[in-house]
Each structure stands twice: as structure tokens, then as C-alpha cells.
Structure 1
Amino acid sequence: MGVTASASPTPEIPAAIQNWFDARGWRVRRHQTEMLAKARSGRDALLVADTGAGKTLAGFLPTLCDFAPTDGEALPEDGLHTLYVSPLKALAHDVKRNLLTPIEEIGLPIRVETRSGDTSSDRKKRQRSKPPHVLLTTPESLSLLLSYPESLELFRTCKRVVIDEVHAFATGKRGDLLALALARLQKLAPDMQRVALSATLANPLSFQEWLSPQVPDSTGEIRSADLVLGEKGAEPDLQILLPVEERVPWGGHAGRWAVDQLYEAIGKNRTTLVFTNTRFLAEFIFQCLWDVNEDNLPIGVHHGSLSKEARRKVEDAMAAGELRALVCTASLDLGIDWGDIDLVVQMGAPKGSSRLLQRIGRAGHRLDTASQAVLVPGNRFEFLEAMAAKDAVDEGQRDGEDFRAGGLDVLAQHVMACACAAPFHEDDLLAEIRSSVSYAWVDETVLARVLSFVENGGYALKAYDKFKRIVRDKQGVWRLAHPNQAQRHRMNAGIIVDSEMLQVRFKNGRSLGKVEERFAAQLSAGDTFFFAGMSLEVESVKDMDVIVRAAKKSATIPSYGGLRLPLTTHLAERVQEMLDDRAGWNRFPDDVREWLEVQDYRSRLPKPGELLVESFPHGDKHYSAYYTFEGWNANQSLGMLITRRMESLGLMPGGFVANDYTLAVWGLKPVEDPAPLLSPDILTHEFVDWVTESHLLRRAFREVAVISGLVERQHPGKRKTGKQVTFSTDLIYDVLKKYEPDHVLLEAAWADARARMTDVGRLADLLERSTSELVHVELDRVSPLAVPVMTMIGREAVPQGAVDDELLIEAESLVGEAMRIGPEDEARALEGN
């Protein structure tokens, strides 16, 4: 629970609970007492405290106290008392396991249950009629529960909602859904208190405003939640792993070079948690570790595509101390309380200081114990990023995503959920929606557009009966068009729209998890692949199943689509500052320092705020390297736009590759002046044309169409394949684009395409900066700084990690060319370049 030794009486806490603390030699932390005081004064509160500080107990302490009354106070009435919302199903189950310990040992009359997609339908039904006192759930499951008529009575008794790890989802669409759910809950239980917990927030005030309802208090003022800061914990012990004899790699992202050192570290610790940034890398690193596992150490793998049974088995084994190491993804980023973890390893770049700190905190999980962690950079730029992240953690600097206006597709889903629960008046719903800061911007016109869409699909689609979901009667009350619409909504509601997945299972029915349809489409009987920590042979691919059996060996690993973890602006700026701080290079390994020194001698290093572009020939092509430091998503978008403009200017582009730091574009003619390729009007001309013509807008439309309920993936006894969903959404997209271009879903799709799929905000800032901070250097050959991105050419379609060895071999030829210093370089240096 995160409390540690020392005892001091705390009068505010009932004797039974105080005695439980005392029996363990624990004391109640200051922030835990403050959270109890906020609850007793009826205040909403945001707690920001280090990992291991007892945040979860601080959130639940008022509930425990309510059920341990003193001086003859009555117990709370039967029914739902506290709602706990978690971003992860695994976190909810872990919290239940840890919450039951004090409840049972103190003897409190509290029933605790979980509710998620893994919960049986029988239990879900029983929970609606006989709810537990404490319900642990996710935003999606909460929204579905609110869609039942019973919810009007079910949540009437709710006194408190506790939102854990709020930073992980509040700024995205899952946060939009939860914000709307909170607004509805507040209407059903007006006195309900809101509590949020987090270890890593860069902007607490924004989260305080998001947490509290946007309605005037008794003084007419709209107040945000109170902020409670936790006691300071021990500083983490964070190290960066370097090759023992080899150099820091030029290219690659998997960190495969460190497997032997990693295995040695696993052998020296009781339990090690190894984080990767993708599901592919989790399987890949697990396989690499297993190849060197001469001592047969128990090592597991955990990620979101594994079956519930596989995940739960690994989680239970970790809780029982049966594993020496677990390779995982963000599926275990949050809150899992495994106090015996000695070491956390981050494979590859951390991408943000907050994310890194969250993962580091899984080690030790005690406030007064320093977390032990190791960063394993995949290449030289990732080494710089690791150094920047370490400095940020050491200095207590955090980063994170900003809030943006709530999505219209999520609002449409919520409107349908409200209609499933009970008929509603438009004005009442508008007031409820606007009480959330995410949707305070919605006015009568916006809501009318959304209601029209939910009613019949909109002007261009209203002739089709399949899109008629709600109707308005003569009294202006909205209700379901037909009772079966409620079942259809509950089968299809949700926010996470993954690529279509196929079950991987043995012939006896045992499921191992899911792979994407595009990967499964390449498989045939006899093929082998590595998944769930096992080598598997395909027996058949039928309908939505890949039937497999155990195989002796396999090298192929499923990869998964989706956006990569974004490099935060905060870390990007720190990396650029490190490049400019030559005095600070003495902290770097000799080979990294030499890399930067030769770059500085042969060309230049980009200064903070500066956009450096290098042009050079290589082979029979002409290359330009743009050092943007804006992240892979923004660089991919910029590559698309630059090649389009190069085509129009007759520069005969050939292609591009990108990483988080650099974009390399090549063609048959040299770029003598990059400024015209980077003018800001590219976002109003090429950008609009590109997004409209490309798959981006169609993909965004597919997602908003599914989230809003326009296109259903699930029917009774049948589920559409990914191809069927894409076919349906493409047809509707073409109709709307032609006949109703201002449709609410096209607006939502554009918002997604701009903000999420292209990092257009960062792109716009970069192009604006290029008008005054562009520096163009023409070279006779590749520069040292360009080598990491140049090694990717021809490999960009291959899953990360699969070709690290080949990348390193290929880099050697580029390295010799880049690091050689000739007379022309000496002349350039003398000129001051």
C-alpha cells in the first residue's frame, strides 16, 4: 500500500484502522491525512505524490473510515458507495487484491468487485441489481453501466469516485468519455466527491480544472479541485547502460546489443521488470533473453494483445514472486504494486520524463526506498535522449500532453448511452454536458448537430433506416427509436479502435491472445511465428481464428500498427541544448563525444530553436537531412509534404525515412535551397490535398465512425472483419464527402487527422521557425549526424528490432564516409562553419 515504518497517533482515523497501521509499524502519511480532511469537508481533490507514497490508500482511506464509524455513527446505506476508475484492467485487479487485505484484516463490512470487459455477463447483471460497496472499473465499462436504466438508482448512493493514474488518459478520448460520465454521475448523485491520483503531472492546474464540475458554487464561483502534494520520496537511482567493449550503436532501436548484460543483471536481482515501447519489441526481447537463458530462469512476457488468461497468469506469478524477470509494454506502466521488484529496465528511448519516472517507480514501490533503474539506448541519438530524460528526472522536471476540446464522436457515443438509460430533454443534456470542462465549449448549435447525427446519421444518410437510432416526440423528449438499439449500442460502444484482430489459439480452444488481421493474412499452414513467449506453427487460419500448435523454433514475430510513442517537446529541447553545450560533452562516452566533435568540425550542430538542413550526395542520389527533433509522427508528415512539393518543383523525389530527430529525403536532383520546401503555406496547400487524398483521413473517419456508433463492428453472434468495417466506412466517407462535406463526423475526422496522426501543431511550429531559424549546409558526403537516419533507408517497412544486426553492419560503410576528415573539411572549419 506504500506506507512505511514509524508510528504516530492520528486522531481523525477510527481506532480500528489506526490499530491496523500501528500493528505494522506504519504511520499515516501527511498527504493521506490531508485527503481524508478534504473528503470530510466535501472538497474534490487531486493528489500528486511519488510512486510508493500510498496514493491508492489515500484515495480509499475516506471510504475505509466511513465503514469504520466511531461514537455510534451509522454505517453507510447499502449500495454503491465508492467508484474507482482505472485506465487498465490489470490495475483494477491489482488494487482489488491490495484493498482486500486491510478490509479483511480490519474486519470492515465492505464488498469490493471489479467490472471490465473480462467480467462475466452474469456478474455484470447481478452488479446492476445488487452492487458492491466499492466497484473497480474502467472508463469504457463505466460508460456502458451508465447506459442501463438501473443506473439512475444504482449511482444514487455513490459518495465518491476515485480516478487513478489520471495523467494516463485524461487528455485523450478516454478522458473525454470519463469526463462525460462524471457529469452524468454528478447529476445522479449531486453530493458525490471527485478524487484523482497521479505520480507524474507537469501541469496540475489543468487537471484540477478537468476534475471538478464546471458549475458555480454557493458564491457563484466555478472552483477547481484542491491540490494535495505528497511527501517527498527517495530519489531514484537511474543509470544508463553502455556496451562493455563495443561502441554505442549508430542505428537500431531494440537495444539487442545489451541482451547479455541484461541477462547478467537479471541473474543478480530477485525480480526485474523490462519495459519496451511496443508489443513487437516485448516479444523480441523476450525471445533474445530466452536464447541466452542458460540457467533456465523463469522469465515472462506481458502485453495488451495476450489473452486475459495469459496476462492474469503472469500477473499472479509476479505477485507471488515466482518470476525472475518480466518483459512488458505500457500494459504494466501504471500502479501495479509488486513491492519485490528490485530493478526496472527501459529498453530503447523513454520518450518522456514522466513516462520514465512512472516506469522507474515500479521498482521498490516504497516511498523511502530508492528505485533502481537502467536505461538501454538503442542508438546514439537515443543515448542523448536517455541522458536528457535522466537529467529531467534528477531535476524533478515532468512533461505530458496538453488538454484539447472533447471529441464530437465521443459526445455522440455518450448521447446514445444517455438515450439507452432513459428519455431526456435536450436542454437538460446540454447543461449536463457543459458541466465538464472538456465540453464546456458545446452550445445549442453543436449539440443539435450531434443529436441530428445520432437521430438518423445526418442529412445524407437519413434515408436509410439502419442509421435511425433516436427520435424526438412532440413534447421535445428524445428516446430510443427502437428498444433493440440499446443492445446494439452496448455491443459496440468503446473508445479504443485497434486494427482488426484474430484470435491465436490451440485446437483444444485455449487462447493465447490476438494478432492483427494484416499479419494473419500473410500466414498459411506450416508457417511459424513467435508469440506469447512461444514458438508456434500454423495449422489453419479460419474465420477469426489462427489455429496453432507448438513448434521447435521460429524467428518471425507479429508486429502491430498504431502510432509510436511520441518524443515529448520537453525532451527534444533538452537534447538540442545538450548538443550545444560542448562543455557538457565530457559526460559522454568517448565514441559519442567523437561523433559530435567530428560533426561539429565537418558541418555544424543545430542550436536550440534552429532548424539545420544538410544536403549531400550519396551513391547516385542527392540527400537532404532535416534535424527537426519533432518526433517520428511529425517527421513522417513533413516527409510526405516535402516530397509533394519537390515533385511540383521538378526535383524528382525518390523517398524519405524518419526517426524522432531527423528526416532524410532523397531525389535525383539536389536541393540547393530548402526554404521553399518549408514555407508555412505548405499546411494550407499540400497538407490539405495530401490528407484528403491519402489514407489518413479515411483511417481517421473509420475510427470516429466506429466510436460514434455509425458503423457497428459487432452483431449478435457475428463480428465484422476489419476489411468489412473499412469497406463500410469508405463507402459512407465517399457519400458524405460528396453530399454533406460539413458532416459532424468529417469534422471529427479532420480534428483527429490534424492533431493526432500528424502532430500538425508541432509541424506548424517547425515551419514557422524555419522562416527565421533555417540554416542550410551543403556537404560533399554524408555527415556523422545523418548516419543514424541513413541506416534506415530500405528498412523502414521492417518491424523495429528485427534487423538491428544488419543495420549495424550497414552503418559501418556510412561511418567510414561520415567520420573521415579531408582537406575540404579543414577548409570549412577554418571558414567557421
Structure 2
Amino acid sequence: MPAAPPPSLPNEITRWIAAQGWALHPHQREMLARSQDPALLLIAPTGGGKTLAGFLPTLAELGPAPPPGLHTLYISPLKALAADIKRNLRRPIEEAGLAIRVEDRTGDTSQTQRKRQRADPPHILLTTPESLALMLSYEDAARTFAGVQRVIVDEIHALAESKRGDQLMLGLARLQSLVPGLRRVGLSATVEDPPAIARFLARHPDPCDILLADPGPAPDITMLQTDEAPPWSGGGGRYAIPAILQAVKAHKTTLIFHNTRAQAELFFHALWLANEDALPIGIHHGSLSREQRQRVEAAMAEGALRAIVCTGSLDLGIDWGDVDLVIQVGAPKNVKRLVQRIGRANHRYNAPSKALLVPANRFEVVECHAALKTMADGKLDGEPRAEGPRDVLCQHILAVAAAGPFDADALFAEVTSAGAYRDLTRPAFDDCLEFCATGGYALRAYDRWQRLLHRPDGMWQLRDPRAARQIRMNIGTIIDTETLKVRLKNRRGGTPLGEVEEGFAATLTPGDTFLIGGQIVRYEGLNELTVEVTRRADKQPKIATFMGTKFATSTQLSHTILEMFRQPDWPELPSATCEWLHLQRKVSKLPEADRMLMETFGHEDRQYLVCYGFAGRNAQQTLGLLLSQRMELAGLAPIGFVATDYATMLWGLEEVRDPAALVRPDGLRDSFEQWLSGNAVMKRTFRAAAIIAGLIDRNTPGRRKTGRQATFSSDILYDTLLKYDPDHVLMQITREEARRGLVDFGRIEELLARTTGRVDHRRLDRISPLAAPLLLERGTVPVAGAAEDRLLAQAAEALMQEAGLPA
């Protein structure tokens, strides 16, 4: 049977495009021509109209007067992106006079609207992986999705890197069972391994073609020139605020990206204090209240803001045409993330994006130049995809049961059609099914985990239909640190300002002040899991320790830095940085990719060991724990350690005379497993897996479990399973997750494999130039208040003089 001819655009849309003075780009015409492909991945530059390219076949198929029912699902990794797409998509539809309904459904959508959307879905629904999973868990899912023909996954590279992507692909596998003819489209601007993303998107074993658009001009990206040099450690970019303000004044709208929410808050506060011209500046991150985020997004869409201090909440796809400059404060840690953020500027086809990098400290000068070099070479970094995580599979099985009875054989076939789960064995699937049904061997005696019933006809169903509500309330794979809402205290319930971590709130006493939303507020008390505050502007604040990714430098970027160290000189680096590196080479040596540099020296009344691994912060921290353990066994009396992305510094009472013995790989994995089994990291990992898999509920009807309650419950369960059922499926998942995630043991093994037997030990008579900033990271200078920056600078100057750098 010949393939159906590609649909043509409605005349109304064709006239509208012509009225804008536009013409379709080649990749947009190609997407329209290949609208019947079962799966297609489009890689197009930011500003290249890839979102419109994804929707053109939908507009063509729906026409000016579409029949009722859901036709296209659009999946976004961000709520803000879904809202932005709704704004941008409604404009041509409304101005062309098409009767196409476009709605979004996210965590911000009201319960009333969600219920209506299930009964009377729009033609185009914009949603997130979590909301799709929730919709599929209802009994009427088959009716809701009966007419859906296309699914568009935007910024697919971002979803492919997390469990949210695995949850989405299991959801699409379920959806494909309900509507077998479903076509899949993936959109991305930054993909380091297109075939891997294509396999992730496609229904296994179906193929997925890749459409590469013209990449357009290279971005215009440079280092920001500042009068003041970066600090030796820590930072946050505050030294560069005068230069950043000048750059903001010279552009229409500037996005100022930070890697964590706490850094964004501190920088915004400092920027606002220095903003003598009263430029309109906003802040945007995931801990702020929905109302505050929406106000900033609306102001930005109207062009009312000159700058927005932000985090990953604005990383992806959002199209605000007036943004003509991106500033990245702090080393990007990952080239792919940098490319994505740069793409927010000059969001137009064939217009180069303009960006400035601002290193937060002296070492980040090197890291930022490495990122620029890697970008210029056209290399993107990324880790290979792991097999589909089984805690997400357990949650999916429960969600399927909430929708109605299911056949295990059919569900296994469905699950293994999702790319990440294509190699899942039937015994591994059955272990997950058994866990969902009974809780597993050690827990089967408890009624609360007896959730599924195996019927005589072979079908599985919920033992108690009322459990469906509980399952739906706990759908999702994002495990944030438990947070408490922050509100201004008044008689009417208070204005919501955002959230802070529960652990941070527990440290507050009435009268303490902290930063949130760029404001200094005073803690007044806790009222029913709400932090009540009043505004204060007369004190130095405490720092709100917002959760937020603390990115590790990628393997690709680390290797580029080590390659730079092989150069005889660095004319591209500032003179102060070059002098620093030359002195390191003179008094010790610079680290090499295939050798381990270990320095030992005395300082004040302690003995220090520094191990340069360039394995990323998580791995270097784990290395510190393992080396501490080995030092303890060797009687070297370790006291503590600190880790950065590139090194681990340990200190103790005894000199380490043979550091090479500490990094021998023999027995390292056994030591690691022994350490891990009784460590808090393992319990924290177990808690996250138990929540995702459905062993522990985050939410229950009428109340919310606090982080302390959830931790207490998970600790008891962990200890029970460790003692009575150490091979329980959740214990297996926990070991896999801990090795891969929080502790990054794989990068330690890679480090030791490439350096085994090749250790360069330098016994120094003083601290080395590269090690000096680590002492500042250690926080040995007890300073606080308004004089903090000056005192830290004085401490840094003294350490650098000791290391041999002139004042």
C-alpha cells in the first residue's frame, strides 16, 4: 500500500506565514513532507524554528475546522516552556482564524481544568512527563487518548539524561498500546550522540530517522573582561558585578545563568544593591512560588525586564526574542549545557547567539577556556545511557494497575518496547511485579504492601481499588530535598514567596534572616509546615540552602583541561593564571591524564595529602571517603577532607609517606561496598528509590509526610531489608543507583584504571599553588558578616604568598 501523501498547510496558515514575511526553512518543509514517519528526530539550531517544524504536520492534519478530540501531545521538560509554547502556538492559530484548541496541563493546572481535559481534551495538549503518567493512570485513559495521532517530545536530550525520560518512554509505550498508530517526533538543538537519542525515542525495534538542519553560524562567546581578578576559591561572580551591569546596560535583555539556586539568590541580591540606575531586574528559579515565576515570565515576554538572574529553570527552548545576551556565571561544567544556555540569546534563525562567560574563581578561568575550546572543536559531552532504572518500572506497574486490570505478558512486551528497557529480562521484570504485588519476601507479611491481586484468569489488578488514589498522588521521579513553603506573615494567610529546605528551616530561630526571591526576610516561626516571615532590609542575611543541582565537571571537559596542561604556555589565559600554572609546574608539576599526581606537605600543625583526579566533585568526594578509610587502617590519623571537581585534599596528624599505596585498586570495590552498606549515602539513595518505586508514600490524602518522617521510615525499612532480605529488588536498585549517582564510583574506577602504577608523588616543603585554593574551600577561615569578602581575600593572599606567588 503506497504511503499517504504529506498533508498541505491550510491556506489560512500559509497566508499568515506570508504576512509575517517568512518562508519555511528546508527542515520545516522536510518535517511536513515526512509527517507519516513512525518516528523522526529533528536536530536544529536554537532559533531555527524546530518547535514550529514539529507542529506543522499537526496544523496541516487538523485544518481550519478540526473534529473534536486530542490529536497531538506535546511533552516538555519544563512547565515554563509549555506555557511559552502555548503563547507562541496560539498566535498563528488565532490570527489565522483556525478553530484549534490548545491547552497546557502541568502541576500548575487546576483540578477542575484537569478533570475537564480528561472528559473533553483539546486538539493539542502541552504537558510534562509527570502529567502524562498521571493521565494514563485513570480508568478512562483509553477514551481520553483515543484520537491521538502524534506526540512531540521537545528538548529530548534533557529528558534522556534523567529518570523523567525513562518515565516518559514507559508512558509512551503504554500510549502506543492504546493507539498503535501513534507517531513520535523528537526535537533538540544539542545532541552529542544522535543515534542514541533516536533509539531512546523510537519504539523498539522500530527505526527512527534523524533529520539534521543547517546548524547556522557559530555563537559569539567570550570571557567577560573585568577590572578585578576572580577570587582564588569559592566566589559566585560577585567580583564581576560592575562589568556585568555595564553589559546589561548595553543590551536589550540579558539572562544571567547560575548553576545553583543559592548562588542565584546571593548574586541577585548583590546585583540589586549595586543597581544604582534602578534597571528592572528579576529572578527566576524552581524554588520560587508559581505566582512569582509567572510574574517574571510575563514581564519578560512583555520586554519589561533588562535582566533575569536564573538557573536551569530557563535553560530550555523558551523563546523571548528580546534576549540578546546570555551571561554564564561560574564554569558551565558541561559543554552541552553551555550550548543550550547560549541558545537563549538571539533566538532567530542564522543569527549568532551572544554570550559571556564569568569564571567564579581562578581555577574556573582554566575551566571556562577549556569549555570554549571544546565548543570550538564541535564536541559535546555526555555520559552513555544506562539501562532503564527499575524503581521507575515499579512505579509504572502500579500506575498501570491504577488504570485497571492488566496482563503481565502484555505489559512485559510493552515495557521492553521502550528503548531503555529493551534488554530487561523477564526475571527482572517479575521481581518488580512481585515487589508491587506483595512488597517482596521480607515485607509480604504486612498488609500495607499487599497491593496487587493475581486473579484466576491470569490478570493482575489492585487488591483495593481505593489504592489508586494513593498511587496517583505519588507519581513522579523528581526527588527534591523536602521543602517548606515560605509566606509573609499577616492576617490573611500571607503572600507566598517560595520554598526553603526543611533542614535549613530547622536551623532557624525567631529573628534570623535569610534571602529568598531577592528579598531579606526575618523568620518569625513555623505554622503548619509553613515558614512565616516578615520583610527586613537592615541585616546581613543567612543563606537559604536551596536545593539545586551541583553539577560535576564532565569527563570531556576534564580531559580538555588536562590536555591544556600539556602546553608549554597559555597565551589565551590571563597573565595571573599563567603565572599560577607556571609556578605549579616549577614547585611541583601539573596533573596529567594518564598519571596520578599526589602532593604531600605540612602546613601549620597538620599534614596534607592532595590527590588530583579530575573525576568530578561526587567522585572526588567518594575518593576522599575511601582514602580516609585506608589512612585510618594505616594509622595515619586522618582528620578530614575536602573535594572539588579536580582534586581531593585530606589532612591528618601523620605524614603520608607512601600515598601510592592508598590508591591501589586492589580491594577498592570491596572497601567501597563495605563503606557504602553502612553509610548515610546508601540510606539516602534507598529513600529516593523507595519513594519512586512506591514503597514509601510522599503524599497521603489530607496530609503531607515531612522529610524527617520519610527518612525515619526509610531508615527502618533499609535496616530491616539489609538484615533479612539483602537481595531484595530495592536493595539491588539502591546499590546500582549509589554506585552510578551520588558517589560516581564509575569515574573513580576509570581514573584508577588509566593511572594504575603511574603515581607522581611530590613531597613539598610548602603548599603548592594548585593546592592553596583547596585550603580556602575547606573553610578554615572563620569569617562572617560584611567584612567576609575582605577577610577571605586577605587569607587567600597570605596562602598564595606562602605558595610562592608574589603579592
- TM-score range, shorter-chain basis? over 0.9
Shift of the alpha carbon at 1:652? 1.1
Specify which of 510, 533, 539 is matched with residue 525 of structure 1: 510
| Equivalent residues of 1:675, 1:770 under 8 A apart | no
Match of 1:505, SS state, is: strand
Shift of the alpha carbon at 1:796? 11
Shift of the alpha carbon at 1:58? 0.9
Distance 1:485 1:802, change over 3 A: farther
Shift of the alpha carbon at 1:563? 5.1
**Is 1:126 aligned to residue 111 of structure 2?**
no
Specify which of 549, 560, 567 is matched with residue 581 of structure 1: 567
Gaps of 5+ in 1: 1-9, 70-74, 215-221, 822-833
Counterpart of 2:624 in structure 1 is 639
The separation in 1 between residues aligned to 2:368 and 2:571, in whole angstroms, is 16
Specify which of 227, 237, 242 is matched with residue 220 of structure 2: 237
Counterpart of 2:48 in structure 1 is 53
| Equivalent residues of 2:8, 2:60 under 8 A apart | no
Amino acid at match of 1:493: I
Counterpart of 1:34 in structure 2 is 30
| Equivalent residues of 2:431, 2:729 under 8 A apart | yes
Counterpart of 2:200 in structure 1 is 210
Distance 1:11 1:195, change over 3 A: closer
Specify which of 94, 101, 115 is matched with residue 111 of structure 1: 101
| Equivalent residues of 2:255, 2:309 under 8 A apart | yes
Counterpart of 1:571 in structure 2 is 557
The separation in 1 between residues aligned to 2:413 and 2:787, in whole angstroms, is 53
Counterpart of 1:153 in structure 2 is 143
Counterpart of 1:671 in structure 2 is 656
Match of 1:525, SS state, is: coil
| Equivalent residues of 1:642, 1:677 under 8 A apart | yes
1:75-114 matches, within 5 Å, as: 77-114=67-104
Distance 1:241 1:803, change over 3 A: farther
Amino acid at match of 2:11: A
Match of 2:35, SS state, is: helix
Counterpart of 1:773 in structure 2 is 758
Amino acid at match of 2:551: L
Specify which of 124, 127, 132 is matched with residue 142 of structure 1: 132
Counterpart of 1:701 in structure 2 is 686
Match of 2:515, SS state, is: strand
Cα deviations across residues 683-736 of structure 1 (Å, max 9, x unaligned)?
Answer: 322211211111011001111111111111212111111111111111111111
Amino acid at match of 2:555: T
The separation in 1 between residues aligned to 2:466 and 2:283, in whole angstroms, is 41
**Is 1:368 aligned to residue 354 of structure 2?**
no
**Is 1:560 aligned to residue 546 of structure 2?**
yes
1:400-799 matches, within 5 Å, as: 400-506=382-488, 507=490, 508-509=492-493, 510-554=495-539, 555-561=541-547, 564-583=550-569, 585-794=570-779
The separation in 1 between residues aligned to 2:752 and 2:662, in whole angstroms, is 10
| Equivalent residues of 1:300, 1:325 under 8 A apart | yes
Amino acid at match of 1:226: D
Cα deviations across residues 412-450 of structure 1 (Å, max 9, x unaligned)?
Answer: 100011011110111011100011121112222112111
Amino acid at match of 1:22: A
| Equivalent residues of 1:279, 1:560 under 8 A apart | yes
Shift of the alpha carbon at 1:308? 0.6
| Equivalent residues of 1:580, 1:608 under 8 A apart | no
Distance 1:160 1:421, change over 3 A: same
Amino acid at match of 2:46: T
Cα deviations across residues 96-145 of structure 1 (Å, max 9, x unaligned)?
Answer: 01010111111222111111111111111111110011111111110011
Match of 1:364, SS state, is: coil
Shift of the alpha carbon at 1:277? 0.4
The separation in 2 between residues aligned to 1:698 and 1:803, in whole angstroms, is 36
Specify which of 388, 396, 399 is matched with residue 370 of structure 2: 388
Shift of the alpha carbon at 1:753? 0.6
Farther off after superposition, 326-335 or 709-718: 709-718
**Is 1:174 aligned to residue 132 of structure 2?**
no
**Is 1:15 aligned to residue 11 of structure 2?**
yes
The separation in 2 between residues aligned to 1:695 and 1:795, in whole angstroms, is 25
The separation in 2 between residues aligned to 1:101 and 1:609, in whole angstroms, is 56
Distance 1:763 1:807, change over 3 A: farther
Shift of the alpha carbon at 1:562? 5.9
**TM-score (norm: length of structure 1):** 0.93
Farther off after superposition, 783-792 or 109-118: 783-792
Amino acid at match of 1:479: Q
| Equivalent residues of 1:636, 1:658 under 8 A apart | yes
| Equivalent residues of 1:252, 1:808 under 8 A apart | no
Amino acid at match of 2:187: L
The separation in 1 between residues aligned to 2:780 and 2:484, in whole angstroms, is 27
The separation in 2 between residues aligned to 1:532 and 1:476, in whole angstroms, is 55
Amino acid at match of 1:695: A
| Equivalent residues of 2:781, 2:795 under 8 A apart | no
Shift of the alpha carbon at 1:156? 2.1
Distance 1:257 1:767, change over 3 A: same
| Equivalent residues of 2:260, 2:549 under 8 A apart | no
Match of 1:374, SS state, is: strand
| Equivalent residues of 1:162, 1:194 under 8 A apart | yes
Farther off after superposition, 387-396 or 654-663: 387-396
Amino acid at match of 1:37: A
Match of 2:69, SS state, is: coil
| Equivalent residues of 1:29, 1:231 under 8 A apart | no
Shift of the alpha carbon at 1:43? 3.4
**Is 1:200 aligned to residue 186 of structure 2?**
no
Q: Say what the alpha-carbon RMSD is for the aligned residues.
A: 1.9
Amino acid at match of 1:749: T
Amino acid at match of 1:49: A
Match of 2:145, SS state, is: helix
Amino acid at match of 1:241: L
Match of 1:772, SS state, is: coil
Cα deviations across residues 19-77 of structure 1 (Å, max 9, x unaligned)?
Answer: 2221111111111111122213x3311111111111111111110111237xxxxx654
Match of 2:146, SS state, is: helix
Distance 1:806 1:28, change over 3 A: farther
Counterpart of 1:344 in structure 2 is 326
| Equivalent residues of 1:252, 1:804 under 8 A apart | no
**TM-score (norm: length of structure 2):** 0.96
The separation in 2 between residues aligned to 1:255 and 1:376, in whole angstroms, is 7
The separation in 2 between residues aligned to 1:194 and 1:164, in whole angstroms, is 11
| Equivalent residues of 2:512, 2:542 under 8 A apart | no
Cα deviations across residues 570-621 of structure 1 (Å, max 9, x unaligned)?
Answer: 11111111111124x0111111111111111111112233221111111111
Specify which of 39, 42, 60 is matched with residue 44 of structure 1: 39
Counterpart of 2:3 in structure 1 is none
Counterpart of 1:321 in structure 2 is 303
Counterpart of 1:809 in structure 2 is 794
| Equivalent residues of 1:171, 1:402 under 8 A apart | no
Shift of the alpha carbon at 1:682? 4.6
| Equivalent residues of 1:563, 1:757 under 8 A apart | no
Match of 1:261, SS state, is: helix
Shift of the alpha carbon at 1:224? 2.6
Distance 1:301 1:676, change over 3 A: same
The separation in 1 between residues aligned to 2:780 and 2:226, in whole angstroms, is 24
| Equivalent residues of 1:611, 1:626 under 8 A apart | yes
| Equivalent residues of 1:251, 1:804 under 8 A apart | no
The separation in 2 between residues aligned to 1:186 and 1:684, in whole angstroms, is 42
The separation in 1 between residues aligned to 2:758 and 2:203, in whole angstroms, is 43
